[in-house]
């Protein structure tokens, strides 16, 4: 584009246009030592992910890489059924290499990381799941096959293997008057060697195991919305429909979502005092909506105004921005809620996490 053409535009509009590269002006690209190579995933991505969601993915990956290079930290949130879809292959390695510093996950994703650890070889798949009829879905149900998109979760070899161990912990906590977070009970499965990896599983592919080894915080908003959360709810139920003789556990032994938010207060204030913190959201929903609110809540509810804003926000999700679609809300909308500032980097990648996240992970891992 000729300079004379650019000069016809306002300075603000000119700043949006780049020459010679598709990515945003001012964003760092790969060093020539890497970009000139052809034998790395990152170099291939640099040459090919240039447009639309591919370009947005590469730009986000480069920004996150540079953020870490400046001493930044990353909060990663996990929604959907990503743990059943083996997100741990990438996420666990990022944790081991100190590139992820706090995880916020749905109760389902957290427990499913464990299920992959204990029952990986028992999983089955149905790639053409969109062709199933309601009658066939009922047939799968009656056979005990719990479908998550293209994947069947082996309930007997996972949930029912872990339940007795957790129930014993819950009853012990009640007896001793102790209280723990959901993830703390689960971590004892590793610490006390109560479970072992499935013969077909690679323990290094379990992100919950990597988080346990690194002792990084895990936040689980809405624990009740998970299989083990449902089971815990049934044990704590004392209503008129409880069957006589069934086990009853005091629900107070489980720390609450409010206390998870308090954990976020303390962690964010301590961490952001020394380092900028970025937000990497994989999928929509409460896994991301819950922790991102910590900054505005610190400002407006705790009345601590001298707190660092989120340095950046990257979301990969398939939910489009539409009427009331909170999961698809763009970065600009988050500015109005004081979740992001005008100085925060933000990028929304309209894609499937299983497609886009591996590219980001590869760049962050230097592959």
Q: What is the pLDDT of residues 209-223, one digit of tens each?
A: 999 999 999 999 999
Give the model's pLDDT for residue 26.
47
Give the model's pLDDT for residue 308.
95
Percent of the chain with pLDDT over 90: 75
The answer on pLDDT for 34 being more than 80 is: no
Mean pLDDT across 153-178: 96
Q: What is the pLDDT of residues 295-341, one digit of tens each?
A: 999 999 999 989 999 999 999 987 766 666 555 566 778 888 888 88
3-state secondary structure string across the chain: CCHHHHCCCCHHHHCCCCCCCCCCCCCCCCCHHHHCCCCCHHHHHHHHCCCHHHHHHHHHHHHHHHHHHCCCEEEEEECCCCCCCCCHHHHHHHHHCCCCCEEEECHHHHHHHHHHHHHHHHCEECCCHHHCCHHHHHHHHHCCCEEECCEEECCCCCHHHHHHHHHHHHHHHHHHCCCECHHHHHHHHHHCCCCCCCCCCCHHHCHHHHHHHHCCCEECCCCCCCHHHHHHHHHHCCCCCCCCCCCCCCHHHECCHHHHHHHHHHHHHHHHCCCCEEEEEECCCHHHHHHHCHHHHHHHCCCCCCCCCCCEEEEEECCCCCCCCHHHCCHHHHHHCCCCCCCCEEEEEECCHHHHHHHHHHHHCCC
Give the model's pLDDT for residue 12.
85
More confident position, 114 or 49: 114
The answer on pLDDT for 164 being more than 90 is: yes
Give the model's pLDDT for residue 334.
84
- Domain 28-364, CATH 3.40.910.10 — does that match? yes
């Amino acid at each position: 584009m000729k300079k004379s053409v650019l000069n016809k535009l306002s300075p603000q509009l000119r700043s949006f246009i780049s020459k010679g590269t598709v990515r945003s002006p001012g964003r760092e690209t790969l060093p020539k030592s890497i970009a000139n190579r052809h034998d790395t995933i990152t170099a291939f991505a640099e040459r090919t992910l240039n447009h639309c969601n591919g370009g947005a993915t590469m730009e986000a990956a480069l920004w996150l890489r540079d953020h870490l290079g400046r001493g930044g930290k990353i909060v990663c949130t996990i929604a959907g059924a990503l743990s059943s879809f083996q997100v741990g292959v990438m996420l666990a390695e990022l944790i081991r290499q100190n590139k992820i510093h706090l995880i916020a996950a749905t109760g389902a994703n957290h427990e499913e990381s464990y299920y992959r650890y204990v029952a990986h070889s028992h999983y089955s798949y149905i790639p053409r799941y969109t062709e199933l009829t309601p009658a066939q879905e009922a047939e799968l149900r009656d056979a005990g096959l719990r479908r998550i998109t293209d994947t069947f979760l082996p309930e007997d070899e996972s949930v029912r293997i872990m339940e007795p161990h957790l129930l014993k912990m819950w009853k012990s906590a009640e007896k001793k008057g102790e209280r723990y977070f959901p993830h703390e009970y689960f971590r004892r499965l590793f610490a006390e060697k109560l479970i072992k990896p499935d013969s077909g599983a690679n323990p290094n592919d379990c992100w919950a195991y990597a988080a346990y080894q690194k002792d990084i915080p895990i936040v689980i908003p809405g624990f009740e919305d998970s299989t083990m959360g449902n089971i815990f709810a049934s044990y704590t139920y004392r209503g008129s429909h409880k069957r006589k003789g069934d086990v009853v556990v005091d629900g107070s032994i489980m720390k609450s979502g409010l206390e998870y938010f308090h954990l976020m207060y303390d962690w964010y204030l301590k961490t952001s005092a020394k380092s900028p913190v970025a937000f990497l959201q994989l999928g929509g929903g409460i896994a991301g909506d819950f922790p991102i609110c910590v900054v505005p809540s610190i400002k407006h509810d705790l009345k601590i105004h001298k707190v660092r804003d989120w340095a950046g926000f990257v979301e990969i999700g398939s939910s489009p921005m539409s009427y009331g679609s909170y999961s698809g809300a763009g970065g600009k909308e988050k500015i109005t809620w004081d979740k992001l500032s005008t100085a925060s980097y933000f990028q929304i990648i309209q894609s499937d996490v299983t497609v886009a996240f591996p590219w980001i992970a590869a760049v962050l891992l230097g592959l």
